[in-house]
Every structure is written in structure tokens, then in C-alpha cells.
């Protein structure tokens, strides 16, 4: 297996870096402070094709491969995790399921607006009493003439407040557990969809995390979708980007900051911290790139995606914590950004399946 980036991937990464450095990085602190991503930046991201990286051109996407998508999330997250997860949740949790499980009519109807960013996608699964335990979902649907009617509530929905296109998970009969669940493509401007609140959060504060009420929402029958999506690899890429961004800033700072007449990087204790950060990042990168390669080549990747997400998210927390330590007092100051990265990193150990859930998945597959 060759993990060397192709020439096309190298060109892509260089172009993304230019955009990130010029357009996203200067706004990262403001995005965190104002708790929102500017609409102008979202439009630019859409124009560049970041919202539809691996969506085929026939459905309005950029027609690239899955690895290109993972590289995009990684590079964007180096500067701004909020913007990284905007792209990741939109693509993996909304575009992905439609592309994988949608009918041809569904793909032609929904994917063009999603690929352009005209509509922002989200995935409405989590409820007050149903997180990892999907079988406990209370949101119900019933058949009524030419539509389905959905009633219930959802919480912690990334990208929800844009009220774009959502994949809603609901049950016809809760006693059936997983077998009673179905997915629906829902226009979140439909009557009966209510945004209850956007959460105030520790990190990824520019990303909307929304609670919804669903009161008799009518969905056309042709909008029933099927299976659920899988976003572990892309969240792993987000975590990887956060860690890489923190290391880059730490290296730059320790080379510029002087103590006792020499740069901090010359002190063995500091260089050892930087070395440990780098090792953990590279370990996580290999797992993520391998999981992406497996998915791209239609091979089984459930265990690999769990390992990649587990490793990268815990690496992000470790690296950003040490980045603050390396910066000393300045690491606690917003201007130096690593404190924001530390706050952003923690959520990657929680959403798309906690670290504990990833370990359970891996353990079960080892002894199956």
C-alpha cells in the first residue's frame, strides 16, 4: 500500500493551503469569538468545491476521490476546526448517505445544491435519551396518504441552524429497536421544523450545534432514504488537522521565543515534547489515510475507521495540551491560538462515537 500523495493530491493540498492561509486562518479567532462562520467564507468554500469533493460531477460535485476530501478537511482544520467540521458533517453525514443509498432521482434532486453549498447538510439522529444507543430513538414517523409525518426532537445537530437539508432518523415502532428505524431526506424549512436553540460550547464555537423540535413534519414518500452514514474517518481528519496546526504553531513559537540567550527549541525538554507530538501525529495520519484508502477501494473499513478516529482524537487532545505547555503563559492567551485548538480538540473524542464506543467496536471485532 502506497501512502505517498499522488501529484494531483499534492497540487490539491497546495491550493487548499493557499486558500486556508489567505482566507480562513486570518478569520479563525473572529469565528471563535463571534460563534459563527461568515457567509462570505461559506460561499467561497462552496465555489471551490469543498462541499462536494468526492461527489460525481454529474450531481454537481468536484468529482475527486475520497482521499481528496479527507485531505481537504485535514488542511482546513489546521487553521479552523469549526470550518473543518462544517465541511465534514455536511459531506459525510448528509451528502455521503444520499450518494451511497439514495435513488437516482434523490441524487439529482438534492446533491447539486449540497455540492455547491447552496444548501448546508446535517444529520439528525441524537436525542436527549438516544446518543450512542440509536435503538432508543423516540422520534416517530407514520404513513399518511402521500407522505410520512415525523414528530419528535433532536439535539446536538452539527450545522443544524443553517436549516438546509437534513437526514432525519425516526422509528415507526420503537419496540422493533434498530429494525424499526428509517432515514428521511428533509428540507429543514418545512413547516413543523423548529430550531429550539443553538448550544454555547467549549470548543468549535463557530460551528452551529442545534436542538430541533419536529412537530408533524410532512415528508414526501419519495424522500425515504435507507441506511445511516459514517463520519468517523472525516472527524479523524479534523482531529489530525487540529493537532498538526498546534504543532506548526509550537515549532514556530519555540524557534522565535528566546530564554537564557537561546531559542526554546534548543532546550532538550522542549524538543522532546515536539518530538512526541510529531510521533503521535504521524501514527494517527497513517491510520486515517489507511482507512480512507480502504473505503475508497470498497474494502471493509469499520475497525480501521474506529481506530483512526480513536487515535486521532486522543492525539489532538494530547498535542494541543502540550502545545499550551510549550507556549507557557502565552499559550493561555487567545492571540496565540493554541488555547482555542485545545478547546476544539476535546469534542473530537466525543462526537461521531466517543472514544469508549470506538474501543468497544474494536474489541468486539477482535474477538468476533
Confidence of residue 62 (pLDDT cuts 50, 70, 90): very high
Q: Could you tell me if 217 and 163 lie in one domain?
A: yes
Q: Could you tell me if 130 and 114 lie in one domain?
A: no
Q: Looking at 78, 97, 119, which one is the last position of a domain?
A: 119
Full residue range of the structural domain in which residue 309 is found: 232-367
Q: Could you tell me if 360 and 244 lie in one domain?
A: yes
Contact predicate 139/151, CB 8 Å = yes
Stretch 318-341: mean pLDDT: 95
Q: Is 352 a catalytic residue?
A: yes
Residue of 276, 296, 352, 356 marked active site = 352
Q: Could you tell me if 197 and 256 lie in one domain?
A: no
User: Cell triple for residue 269?
Assistant: 525538554
Predicted pLDDT at 4:
80
Predicted pLDDT at 133:
78
Residue 168, domain CATH: 2.40.110.10
Predicted pLDDT at 59:
97
Q: Enter the pTM of the model.
A: 0.89
Contact predicate 25/80, CB 8 Å = yes
Stretch 2-12: mean pLDDT: 88
Predicted pLDDT at 145:
87
Confidence of residue 230 (pLDDT cuts 50, 70, 90): very low
3: pLDDT strictly greater than 90: no
What 3-state DSSP class applies to 167? strand
Instruction: Tell me the H-state helices in 186-301.
Output: 232-256, 268-296
Number of domain units in the chain: 3
Strand partners, 197: 211
Q: Could you tell me if 100 and 19 lie in one domain?
A: yes
pLDDT tens for each residue of 330-341: 999 988 999 999
Domain assignment present for 1: no
Q: Could you tell me if 35 and 85 lie in one domain?
A: yes
- CA-based Rg of the chain, rounded to a whole angstrom? 21
Average pLDDT of the residues of the chain: 94
40: pLDDT strictly greater than 60: yes
Confidence of residue 353 (pLDDT cuts 50, 70, 90): confident
Residue 66, domain CATH: 1.10.540.10
At CA 170, angle to CA 298 and CA 178, rounded to 5?
60
pLDDT tens for each residue of 237-248: 999 999 999 999
Percentage of the chain beyond pLDDT 70 is 98
Stretch 29-36: mean pLDDT: 97
Q: Could you tell me if 126 and 204 lie in one domain?
A: yes
Q: Could you tell me if 114 and 156 lie in one domain?
A: no
Amino acid at each position: 500500500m502506497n501512502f505517498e500523495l499522488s501529484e494531483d493530491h499534492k497540487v490539491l493540498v497546495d491550493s487548499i493551503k493557499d486558500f486556508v492561509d489567505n482566507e480562513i486562518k486570518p478569520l479563525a479567532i473572529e469565528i471563535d469569538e463571534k460563534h459563527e462562520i461568515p457567509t462570505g467564507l461559506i460561499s467561497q468554500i462552496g465555489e471551490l468545491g469543498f462541499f462536494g469533493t468526492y461527489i460525481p460531477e454529474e450531481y454537481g460535485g468536484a468529482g475527486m476521490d475520497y482521499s481528496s476530501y479527507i485531505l481537504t478537511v485535514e488542511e482546513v482544520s489546521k487553521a479552523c476546526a469549526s470550518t473543518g467540521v462544517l465541511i465534514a458533517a455536511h459531506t459525510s453525514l448528509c451528502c455521503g448517505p444520499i450518494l451511497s443509498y439514495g435513488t437516482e432521482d434523490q441524487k439529482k434532486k438534492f446533491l447539486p445544491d449540497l455540492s455547491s453549498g447552496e444548501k448546508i447538510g446535517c444529520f439528525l439522529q441524537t436525542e436527549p435519551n438516544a446518543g450512542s444507543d440509536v435503538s432508543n430513538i423516540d422520534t416517530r414517523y407514520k404513513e399518511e396518504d402521500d407522505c410520512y409525518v415525523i414528530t419528535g426532537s433532536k439535539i446536538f445537530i452539527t450545522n443544524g441552524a443553517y436549516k438546509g437539508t437534513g437526514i432525519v432518523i425516526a422509528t415507526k415502532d420503537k419496540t422493533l429497536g434498530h429494525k424499526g428505524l428509517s432515514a428521511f431526506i428533509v428540507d429543514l424549512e418545512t413547516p413543523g421544523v423548529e430550531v429550539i436553540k443553538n448550544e454555547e460550547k467549549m470548543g468549535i464555537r463557530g460551528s452551529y450545534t442545534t436542538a430541533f423540535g419536529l412537530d408533524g413534519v410532512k415528508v414526501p414518500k419519495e424522500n425515504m432514504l435507507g441506511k445511516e452514514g459514517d463520519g468517523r474517518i472525516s472527524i479523524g481528519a479534523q482531529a489530525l488537522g487540529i493537532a498538526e496546526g498546534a504543532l506548526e504553531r509550537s515549532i514556530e513559537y519555540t524557534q522565535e521565543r528566546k530564554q537564557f540567550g537561546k531559542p526554546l527549541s534548543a532546550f532538550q525538554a522542549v524538543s522532546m515534547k515536539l518530538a512526541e507530538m510529531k510521533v503521535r501525529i504521524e501514527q494517527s495520519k497513517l491510520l486515517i489515510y489507511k482507512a480512507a484508502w480502504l473505503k475508497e477501494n470498497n474494502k471493509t473499513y469499520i475497525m480501521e475507521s474506529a481506530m483512526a478516529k480513536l487515535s486521532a482524537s486522543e492525539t489532538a487532545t494530547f498535542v494541543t495540551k502540550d502545545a499550551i505547555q510549550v507556549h507557557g503563559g502565552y499559550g493561555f492567551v487567545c492571540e496565540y491560538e493554541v488555547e482555542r485548538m485545545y478547546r476544539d480538540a476535546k469534542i473530537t473524542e466525543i462526537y461521531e462515537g466517543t472514544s469508549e464506543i470506538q474501543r468497544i467496536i474494536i474489541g468486539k471485532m477482535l474477538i468476533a
